[in-house]
């Protein structure tokens, strides 16, 4: 039973480019969460999704960031026109329900040149 799969593990982008981060939840999990970890800081909640629905996006910047979890395929976190401050580790987690343990992927480390 595969765990939460995130790809790519490392992503390098130049300022102004787009970054697309993918997350496949554990089998049987329909709840997906995205978190951002800045260097030497704790994790910060970004967005919570269920299949085809955004439940809570209160932690996601209003501009340039978007997330989706389509009926088929992985959840996507999209960052448009990236800036240096977007450099961070982005973690995805999945769960069976909203009060159930969240299982984490290994993260995508985004570096902006």
Partner 1 sequence: KQEVTQIPAALSVPEGENLVLNCSFTDSAIYNLQWFRQDPGKGLTSLLLIQSSQREQTSGRLNASLDKSSGRSTLYIAASQPGDSATYLCAGMDSNYQLIWGAGTKLIIKP
- Site residues for partner 1 per CB under 8 A: 4, 6, 33, 35, 41-45, 48, 55-56, 58-59, 91, 93, 98-99, 101-107, 109
Spatial separation of the C-alpha atoms in residues 108 and 90, rounded to whole Å: 5
Q: How far is the CB of 113 from partner 1 (least distance, A)?
A: 20
Q: How far is the CB of 73 from partner 1 (least distance, A)?
A: 21
11 vs 35, 39, 113, CA distance in Å?
16, 16, 11
Beta carbons of 105 and 5 less than 8 angstroms apart: yes
Of the two residues 37 and 66, which places its CB atom closer to partner 1 in the complex? Answer: 37
Q: How far is the CB of 5 from partner 1 (least distance, A)?
A: 11
Of the two residues 20 and 109, which places its CB atom closer to partner 1 in the complex? Answer: 109
Of the two residues 30 and 83, which places its CB atom closer to partner 1 in the complex? Answer: 30
Of the two residues 72 and 99, which places its CB atom closer to partner 1 in the complex? Answer: 99
Spatial separation of the C-alpha atoms in residues 97 and 75, rounded to whole Å: 16
Spatial separation of the C-alpha atoms in residues 113 and 106, rounded to whole Å: 22
Q: Strands 5-7 and 43-50: what pairing?
A: unpaired
């Amino acid at each position: 039973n595969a765990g939460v799969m995130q790809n790519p593990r490392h992503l390098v982008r130049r300022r102004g480019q787009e970054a697309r981060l993918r997350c496949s939840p554990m089998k049987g999990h329909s709840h997906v969460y995205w978190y951002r970890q800045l260097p030497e800081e704790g994790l910060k909640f970004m967005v919570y999704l269920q299949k085809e629905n955004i439940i809570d996006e209160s932690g996601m910047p209003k501009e340039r960031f978007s997330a989706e979890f389509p009926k088929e395929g992985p959840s996507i976190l999209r960052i448009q026109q990236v800036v240096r401050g977007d450099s961070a580790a982005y973690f995805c987690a999945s769960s069976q329900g909203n009060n159930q343990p969240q299982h984490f992927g290994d993260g995508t480390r985004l570096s902006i040149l």
